[in-house]
Amino acid sequence: MKNIIFVIASALILSLTANAQTKKAVPAAQPPARKMVTPGYSPATVSSPSIASSWGHGFQNEFDLNLSEGYFKTYKVGSKSYTDFNVFGAYSYDLGQNIQVGGDVGLRSYDSSTRITLVATGTYNIEPNYADSVFFKAGLGLYPIDKGSNGNTDIKSEFGLYVAAGKRFKLWDHVNYKPMVKIAKISDLDAEITIQFLNVSVNWN
């Protein structure tokens, strides 16, 4: 009886020992490794400033319609009829730093003979916002002048220059009221001062 108990106890001990060794041989399951995800690099997009914002004042081109110097008239000399007219405008292009360059252009008819005013100009604006700025302007170019005498018309193109000062007043978007005072000296004529009340300018980029 003792021998049977000894054999059973020995078998149980061997079974437990073998089972323990088997557990030691099999490594415990490791948790799944975390995958390192590196966020992608997306560089910031830098947008280029638009032309209008780079100018800073809202417009690059300006066209003046000078109604102060415009006229249209018909008349007779004896039995002959004549039609005279004058159309005058100006264009300015912005160079930046409150400076504009451009030209004045006029078309004038004398006794059925047409002459052109062509003047190069420069403008300096006090304010960076041109729409409400005081400005100073100067021009140099050719003007049609009547050199005739005793009722005879003799139109000549003569060099002249002028300086002017004025101010824009914004009426609507892209439209300004633009009065100015101008002093002009053309050829050998006396200097002439004019106040131009009926000037309107239109601007765009």
- 118 within 8 A of 141, measured Cβ to Cβ: yes
Per-residue tens of pLDDT for the chain, all 205 residues: 545 555 455 554 555 455 545 545 555 555 555 555 555 555 555 444 444 433 445 578 999 988 777 666 676 666 777 677 778 889 999 998 899 999 999 888 766 677 889 999 999 999 888 888 999 999 999 988 877 666 666 778 889 999 999 999 999 889 999 999 999 999 888 899 989 888 999 999 8
pLDDT of the residue at 74: 73
**Beta-bridge mates of residue 122:** 101, 138
Per domain, the residue ranges of the chain are: 53-204
The pTM score is 0.62
Contacts of 165 (CB under 8 A, 6+ apart): 134, 135, 136, 137, 180, 181
Contacts of 101 (CB under 8 A, 6+ apart): 92, 93, 95, 120, 121, 122, 123
CATH topology of domain 53-204: Porin (2.40.160)
